[in-house]
Structure 1
Amino acid sequence: MKVGILALQGAFIEHEKIIQELGVEVVEIRQRKDLEGIDGLILPGGESTVQGKLLRQLGLLKPIQQLINEGLPVLATCAGLILLAKTIDQEETAHLGTLPIVIKRNAYGRQLASFDSDIDMRSIGHYPAIFIRAPYIESVSDDVDILSVVNNHIVAVQYHHQIGLSFHPELTHDTRIHQYFLSLIQPSSQSS
């Protein structure tokens, strides 16, 4: 099994360390050829506008979008969730647009408004979530599963093979979310 981690900007190293600790091969995605042979993809936190711009400049946007639409499992955190969203509140264009949700960027305010919260997450249980300039999900289509809600805001969803989180599981010592993501990959990687 091999997991690609978008490594253009943001908190990709932290995800990489966790995936390697779980015994899985990692490749940093910086150009199109890096996408070859990956069984799953992580879109990390960071600056979604910068990441989206770089995806377009490097010719990665359409190939990643196609892989996701073909069933590639994805874990997207914070900015990565914004990249996946079909609609970004008060913005005309989306990036990958593969996740049928409406997202509100920087919904919790500036960096100083960052916070930790012990959330209840379906399929995981209690989880120590870290929110940093986090977005939240304003609405979802009927076929999107809501995994967690904090203060009446949706902060975690799953849509088939796509997991989207407003928070940063890579900044905790709890690997359960990454393990859950890897469990989505295992059936498809058997055929690779």
Structure 2
Amino acid sequence: MTDATPTIGVLALQGDVREHIRHLEAAGARAVPVRRRTELDAVDGLVLPGGESTTMSRLLDVYEMYEPVAARITAGMPVYGSCAGMILLASEVVNTRADATWFSAIDMSVRRNAFGRQVESFEADLVVDAFGPEPLRTVFIRAPWVERVGPDVQVLAQVRASDDREHIVAVRQGNALATSFHPEVTPDVRVHEYFLDMVRAATS
């Protein structure tokens, strides 16, 4: 592992694993799927992909990966969560199963499926200063939104929803990054480049 080409894992229990690996490689990383503790130990950063958050929560326990991932995040490993991954990084989750677990890496309250059902999925062009001046095409699929952030959380992006209100959809706190949307399903790799820079900074 080197600072120039970090090794970034994608949690490969469920969700958009291949899409994130493709984008990370395009951004300049070595990207690998992570299903076991030994694979986690070998990475500089970790992506929690989009998928189904309660299913991922259960599989983290089934594969005995919750505690190892939590320990790495607490120790400062950079982590990025998209959609379901955002939910797993929250400190509070609204509208989830009673037995669900999450990592509390970002001081925020997240509402699951806040934008509606699959049929209500949508796309939007957002200008996100952290990702560059050009509009970023964002895809929301049964996406969460952030209802509350703590004082140490940086809000990166908001989007206007069907309730005609602006809702937070991208945040960062320290070495943790999260988006409601799925950058891995668009051709744009700027979110992954941003995360890669976070990993380089943490490992330099």
TM bucket normalised to smaller: over 0.9
Shift in Å, 1:19: 1.2
TM-score (norm 1): 0.95
Q: In the alignment, residue 142 of structure 2 is paired with which amino acid?
A: R
Provide structure 2 residue ranges, at least 5 long, that are not aligned to the other structure.
1-5, 161-165
Partner deviation per Cα, 1:6-52 (whole Å, 9 max, x = no partner): 01111110010111223321121111111112111100000101100
Which residue in 2 is equivalent to 1:115? 122
Shift in Å, 1:189: 2.8
Which residue in 2 is equivalent to 1:132? 141
User: Where do 1:161-180 residues align within 5 Å?
Assistant: 161-180=175-194
Shift in Å, 1:90: 3.9
State how far apart, in whole Å, the 1-side matches of 2:104 and 2:202 are: 23
Moved over 3 A (4+): 90-94
State how far apart, in whole Å, the 1-side matches of 2:178 and 2:27 are: 20
Shift in Å, 1:187: 2.6
User: Where do 1:28-47 residues align within 5 Å?
Assistant: 28-47=33-52
Q: Greater shift after overlay, 27-36 or 160-169?
A: 27-36
Partner deviation per Cα, 1:94-124 (whole Å, 9 max, x = no partner): 4112211100000111111000000121311
TM-score (norm 2): 0.89
1:158 alignment partner, one of 137, 159, 172: 172
State how far apart, in whole Å, the 2-side matches of 1:160 and 1:23 are: 22
1:12 correspondence with 2:21: no
User: Where do 1:12-161 residues align within 5 Å?
Assistant: 12-91=17-96, 92=98, 94-124=101-131, 125=133, 126-151=135-160, 152-161=166-175
State how far apart, in whole Å, the 2-side matches of 1:80 and 1:59 are: 18
Q: Name the SS of the counterpart of 1:123 in structure 2.
A: helix
- Root-mean-square deviation (CA, aligned residues, Å) is 1.2
State how far apart, in whole Å, the 2-side matches of 1:166 and 1:111 are: 14
Counting aligned pairs with the same residue, the percent is 39
State how far apart, in whole Å, the 2-side matches of 1:176 and 1:80 are: 18
Q: Name the SS of the counterpart of 2:124 in structure 1.
A: strand
Q: Is the 8 A contact 1:87 1:103 kept in 2?
A: yes
Q: Structure 1 pair 90/46, CA: closer, same or farther in 2 (3 Å)? A: closer
Q: Greater shift after overlay, 18-27 or 85-94?
A: 85-94
Provide structure 1 residue ranges, at least 5 long, that are not aligned to the other structure.
none
Q: Greater shift after overlay, 62-71 or 86-95?
A: 86-95
Q: Is the 8 A contact 2:95 2:112 kept in 1?
A: no
